Amino acid sequence: MWCEIMKGIPAAIVALVIGCIAAAIAYRQYKVAHARFMLDLFEKRHEIYLYTATFLTELVLERPMEPHDVGIFRGRTAAAPFLFKREIADFLKDVSDQAAHADRDRAAAAAWATEQLDVLKTRFMPYMDLSDWR
């Protein structure tokens, strides 16, 4: 009986080693897939951040806003509710609303946009931080 058990030990060890190797490969694949997901998410968020910064800069420069400019901004930032928490989506709506009414008082809109540019990085930083990607 012990002889039969001893014959099966090498096969069990080989199966255990193969199982451990497969688990290590699967874990690495998970980490790569997670990092790729985070990179894709970052790129989408970064695109909205850059477009918002550009749009606010145009308001600061008191550039006349056409209705189609506001429409383009809303279109380019339409994915925000899916990529950010509600506070950023609400902020982007405020930006588009301010731009839509900027022709009433360009100086006030420029002052508001300047304030928003000053805190834009702080608003977006929790969503753009790369330190948690391990």
Write the pLDDT tens digit of every residue in 97-107. 999 888 888 88
What's the whole-number mean pLDDT along residues 28-52?
94
Q: Where residue 134 falls among pLDDT bands split at 50, 70, 90?
A: low
What's the whole-number mean pLDDT along residues 32-47?
93
Cα 105 to Cα 43, 63, 109, distances in angstroms? 34, 12, 6
Instruction: Read off the pLDDT of residues 109-123 as tens digits, 9 standing for 90 and up.
Output: 899 999 999 999 999
Q: Do 43 and 97 meet the contact criterion of CB atoms below 8 Å apart?
A: no
Q: Is the pLDDT of residue 4 over 80?
A: no
d(CA 33, CA 38): 9
- pLDDT for the residue numbered 133: 64
Q: Do you know the residue count of the chain?
A: 134
Q: Is the pLDDT of residue 92 over 80?
A: yes
Task: Name the more confident of 117 and 133.
Answer: 117
What is the distance of C-alpha 67 from the center of its chain? 27
pTM: 0.80
